[in-house]
Amino acid sequence: MDAYVDELTGREAIPRNCESLKFDEPWQGRAFGMVLALAEAKSYPYEDFRQSLISTIGDWDKTHEPGDETWSYYQQWLAAFEKLALDKGLINSDELDRRTEEFLRRTRDEVI
């Protein structure tokens, strides 16, 4: 896991607090863990996720002013993960939408 985490630098670097990973919300840690677990399970090369994250952040930067307070690293992480999961066929858009609604309505059984 550390090899993946250490590959990200600059704007793509994972938020840390005293060298520990920093998650402000439980979903952030879950999204982080899913990305690494699927990469380690060889569902995709981690480099594919890294490139998706770089692209997603770049797209956000193009449409927002520097210092925009709506910036959220893990929102970008999640968007990059969703795009990659769809591109790799790990989930389809209908299933992703359904699961998102279940999560938002709190009707989805938590696995972790």
Q: What is the pTM of this model?
A: 0.77
pLDDT at 51: 97
Which tens digit of pLDDT belongs to each residue from 81-106?
Answer: 999 999 999 999 999 999 889 988 88
pLDDT of residue 18: 63
**pLDDT tens digits along 28-61:** 999 999 999 999 999 999 999 999 999 999 999 9
Structural domains in the chain, sorted by start:
2-12+23-105 (1.10.472)
Instruction: Answer for the pair 49, 7: CB distance below 8 angstroms, yes or no.
Output: no
